[in-house]
Amino acid sequence: MPIGHARLSLAGFGLLLALDLACRPGTPGSVPNDTAKPSTSAGAGTSAASGTVRTDSVVLRTDKTQYRSGERMTLTFENRSASGYAFNPCQRSMEREANGAWTAVPETGRMCTMEAWILEPHGTRSGPTELPASLAPGRYRVVVRMSVEGAGGVASSVSVVSEPVSVS
């Protein structure tokens, strides 16, 4: 195999590794380049369902504060750090608030293409997603897992969490 193909294969393997890590559960706060401190805003607590902790490195906004089940939603990611992130907006999860705790909403049969969207340092990206048609009325938030390059080029994952939205 020529040298050029080996480098291309190595780069492809690195991208697949980053995507794999982005889809795995991680330890909150385990990202050395994630320079933000935990947020103190409302709804910023730990999710029992996903173990996520909201940080301020990347802000996740929705295009509205009120939706209907099955409605299309636009997610906007604002990177406030000097680190780059990779993610797929389709691979988001929804969490429902009940009695002050957040619980993941199962979405059986949900399928996404394998894509890696790049969020440059201090950059902004927007992407669409669709709410499940079976969502019951209530308060929900969106969780998106991202991979970030850490020390020595090793990728690790961090989750970003939106402010709560209402579904009627």
What is the DSSP annotation of the chain?
Answer: --HHHHHHHHHHHHHHHHHHHHHS---TT--TT--PPBP-STT-S--TTT----BSSEEEEES-SEE-TT-EEEEEEEE-SSS-EEE-GGG-EEEEEETTEEEEPP-TT-------EEE-TT-EEEEEEE--TTPPSEEEEEEEEEEEE-GGG-EEEEEEEPPPEEE-
Mean per-residue pLDDT, 16-22: 46
Q: Which residue has the higher pLDDT, 153 or 42?
A: 153
Specify burial of residue 102 (Cβ count, 10 A radius: 0-12, 13-18, 19+).
Answer: buried
pLDDT class for 80, splitting at 50, 70, 90?
very high
User: For position 77, what pLDDT does the model report?
Assistant: 97
> Which CATH entry fits the domain spanning 3-167: 1.20.1070, 1.10.540, 2.60.40, 1.20.920?
2.60.40
Q: pLDDT tens digits, residue range 113-128? A: 999 999 999 999 999 9
User: For position 155, what pLDDT does the model report?
Assistant: 80
Q: Which residue has the higher pLDDT, 11 or 111?
A: 111
* Beta strands at 58-62 and 72-79: parallel, antiparallel or unpaired: antiparallel
Q: Per the confidence metrics, is the pTM higher than 0.75?
A: no
**pLDDT above 80 for 53:** no
pLDDT class for 109, splitting at 50, 70, 90?
confident
**pLDDT above 90 for 75:** yes
Angle ∠(76,78,82) on CA atoms, nearest 5:
155
**pLDDT above 60 for 39:** no
Q: Which residue has the higher pLDDT, 79 or 149?
A: 79
Identify the CA nearest to 165 among candidates 92, 64, 78: 64
Mean per-residue pLDDT, 131-147: 95
Give the number of other Cβ atoms within 10 Å of residue 132's Cβ: 16
